[in-house]
Amino acid sequence: MDKNEADTGVRKFALAFICRLPYKGRLIYDALASPAERTRTSGRGLGCVAASVILGFFTLFSTCAVTVFTPSPICAQTTSPSLEDLLSQADRLQRSKDYAGAEKVYRQALVASPENPDILKALGIVCQKQLKYEESIKVFREILKRAPQYPGVNLLLGISYYSENEFDKAVDAEKQELVGDPTNRQARYYLALALNALDRRAEAIEQLERLRADHPQDPALLYQLALYYKSAARQMGRQLARVSPDSVWTHALQGEILADAQRHQEAILEFKEALRKNPDFPGMHFALGQVYWLEKDYENAERELQAALVEDPQQPLANYYLGDILTSRKEFQKAIPHLQIAISVYPDLTQAYFLLGKCYAGGGNLPGALETFKKALEQDPNYKEVHYQLSELYARLGDKDSSQAELRIFQKLNKESQERDKALLQENSQKQSEAAVQK
């Protein structure tokens, strides 16, 4: 209300009130009233003191009335927090992992802005954090009704569906996210997870391989791919066993599975059965030779590895295993070509450099041995056996200082290795004791 308007209204009320007082006092009234008012109230009297007091009171009241009853913007702001304040508070709670508190404040914010997609998205996220997936799904779908490609929401919806084991819906949601953003790594990753959960493993692997093309060094991605390939191999193995339970293919695959599980004797039986069914089955001689080598049955290993090299003379691991066997028998000249083939295919095979260096040293090629040992140390500076060989080699070359330096390095590394082994042994012993007490 305007103050002037209030003053005028109160003034009229006061004059009307004064005119009805049982006193004579025309002077004050005449002084206060307009000519028109004086005409309307002629013949009425008013006491001067009473008029002054009453008019003063009503004038004061009018000022207070305007002040008290006029709405104040400052008062409105202090009684209710602004939307900005609410969002700031919710963000602080969310960052401190008080997700229940953040949810409550986000819901307050939605009262002020009920269709705000960013607030709804934030609400859905804090619901996810509390494992309230059904509620988060409702919130995300509410956003997508108005904006089917709102950034990141289909991804979040797919994660909630995946967490609720609704894998078909998760696949659809993540595919929809990828329509809007084909480079979204999380969406493609969760798409792979959902496809794998539906036993659509080949499709899952395809999605992860697409990620690997852009991120070849991502350890989490490589781990997931390895699991999927392993799972896919098992799945194919079960299918093969159903289709052809006693075939050469089934026995060969079963042998590989058993060998991976280090059940070597059982693997040998499966490989032999595969060769009995088909003596020319490719790769069986190498598989047998590898298992015999792991079992340190070098006589049978050499026979099978030689047969494997008849099939494929450049097979790198067959050459490496055979080179190792020949080196252990000090047949250095025979071992050298096999180790050279292995290194040509696997230049990072440090053990092959170590064996080749020993062969050169054993055959009298000391410069070749020195160069080869140094290459081994470039790949693994803590390869203690190489340092020991270098100590002996430098002594033969007459370099006493270098020989002593290499020997000290060997002794240091050897001591550290023994201490690690001792600590590991004590840790295992303690775990066994604790397990026995718990029983």
Residues 42, 31: contact at Cβ < 8 Å? no
- Per-residue b or e along 328-361, where b marks 16 or more CB atoms closer than 10 Å to that residue's CB: eeeebeebbebbebbbeeeeebbbbbbbbbbbbb
Residue 381 tokens, joined: 């500076």
Quote the CA–CA distance of 338 and 323 in Å, as a whole number: 5
pLDDT value at 21 more than 60: no
Torsion sign over Cα 158, 163, 167, 169: negative
Please report which residue ranges of 262-297 form alpha helices under DSSP H. 264-277, 284-294
Q: Averaged over 112-139, what is the pLDDT?
A: 95
Q: Cβ contacts of residue 228 below 8 Å, gap of 6+?
A: 192, 196, 201, 204, 205, 208
| Residues 26-51: b if buried by 16+ CB within 10 A, e if exposed | bebbeebbeeebeeebeebbbbeeeb
Rounded Cα distance between 118 and 192, Å, is 27
Q: Which amino acid is at 26?
A: R
The whole-number pLDDT of residue 80 equals: 67
The class (CATH top level) of 97-228 is mainly alpha
43 pLDDT higher than 70 = no
pLDDT in the model for residue 435: 74
Question: In this structure, are residues 360 and 343 in contact, taking their beta carbons and an 8 Å threshold?
Answer: no
Residue 439 has a pLDDT of 63
User: Which of 1.25.40.10, 1.10.4160.10, 1.50.10.20, 3.60.15.10 is the CATH number of 244-312?
Assistant: 1.25.40.10
Predicted TM-score (pTM) of this structure:
0.60
* C-alpha neighbours within 13 Å on the C-beta side of residue 426: 6
So what's the pLDDT on residue 426? 87
User: Would you report the helix, strand and coil content of the chain in percent, each value rounded to 5?
Assistant: 80, 0, 20
Of 28-37, 117-126, 232-241, 425-434, the least confident: 28-37
| Tens of pLDDT, residues 226-280 | 999 988 888 888 899 999 999 999 999 999 989 999 999 999 999 999 999 999 9
Mean pLDDT score of the chain:
84
- Sequence ranges of the chain with CATH classification 1.25.40.10: 97-228, 244-312
Within 10 Å of residue 363's Cβ, how many Cβ atoms?
A: 15
Q: Which stretch of 18-22, 80-84, 234-238, 343-347 has the lowest confidence by average pLDDT?
A: 18-22
